[in-house]
Structure 1
């Protein structure tokens, strides 16, 4: 073992490494500016950073927005980056879960409308807690809608029913 290996942690960061960390923090700040108001409220931020991001949303000039983003990046240096990243990660997982529920609902809606009773019995086997009567009514209404080539109002109701059922069961 070489003597210099035990001192690797004590070496100062290179200029390139410091710049990369600053860019990473600025990118994290940019991601914060793209959150919905409800998500933004959930993120643990200090008041200065929260105000800087609120200010950015009111700025119209590109140059002023660029400067404000730099200021947000500067404020990010003193923020709890790990807590912010954890919150953003939770939002991403939640979005992926919602997307998965949407895909499941779309697939079941298609099957229920195309395959009829066979798909219904398979669905009730997979989801015994579902409201059987309500689902049958939604399928019946959506099927009539397809046959008469009407706007997909009942198809949307069926989709929402399925998606909500999947969200409750998870």
Structure 2
């Protein structure tokens, strides 16, 4: 039995909406689980992200209710209810917003990885990397960069916690405007 992602199951659900033949009971269960998983993902998002979704009043009330449920069994039953409510929602619009949010997260992650590579390069190479960084970001504070690089190297060489490397990353992030 292959494990399909909620995205793939939602695609199948939308494709089957056009078909005339009735899906099997197993297919209906997979679709319900996919809708329930999507509901769980929406609940796990920040309120700002959730506000972007075109959700009905019933669905919004169910999402807010989730925070008040403490028992495991109660939460499980509530998530089934959320999955049931998801069937009445505009799945194509929800999927579009979900994909957009996921793409934003990917771009943000890539940007942070790029900044981490800058930090590592600055610590390893020193002044040549500082010049390259300043060429890309002319507003960078050279003196602060060099001081944090020296401190980060010292911490690394003495096997101490990387406090200066973290400060260096924050300076790079602020300079890059992220």
What is the TM-score with the length of structure 2 in the denominator?
0.74
Q: Which has the higher contact order (CA 8 A, sep 6+)?
A: 1
Between structure 1 and structure 2, the one with the greater Rg is 1
More helix by share: 1
Q: 2:151 aligns with which of 145, 148, 151?
A: 145
Report the CA distance between 1:147 and its aligned residue: 5.4
Shift of residue 10, structure 1, vs aligned partner: 5.7
What does the per-residue CA deviation read over 1:36-59, in whole Å, with 9 as the maximum and x for residues that have no partner?
A: 222122222111101101111210
RMSD: 2.4
In structure 1, C-alpha distance between the alignment counterparts of 2:101 and 2:19, rounded to whole Å? 36
Contact 1:142–1:152 (Cα < 8 Å) also in 2: no
Question: 2:74 & 2:67 partners in 1: Cα distance?
Answer: 11
* Structure-2 separation of matches of 1:151 and 1:161: 18
Instruction: Provide structure 2 residue ranges, at least 5 long, that are not aligned to the other structure.
Output: 1-17
TM-score between the two structures when normalised by the length of structure 1: 0.78
Q: Which runs of 5+ in 1 are unaligned?
A: 1-8
Contact 1:101 1:166 in 2 (8 A): no
Tell me, yes or no, if structure 1 residue 95 matches structure 2 residue 95.
Answer: no
C-alpha contact (below 8 Å) 1:109/1:159 kept by paired residues: yes
CA distance in structure 1 between the aligned counterparts of 2:63 and 2:154, rounded to whole angstroms: 50
- TM-fit CA distance, 1:144: 3.6
> Of residues 31, 54, 65 in structure 1, which corresponds to 2:64?
54
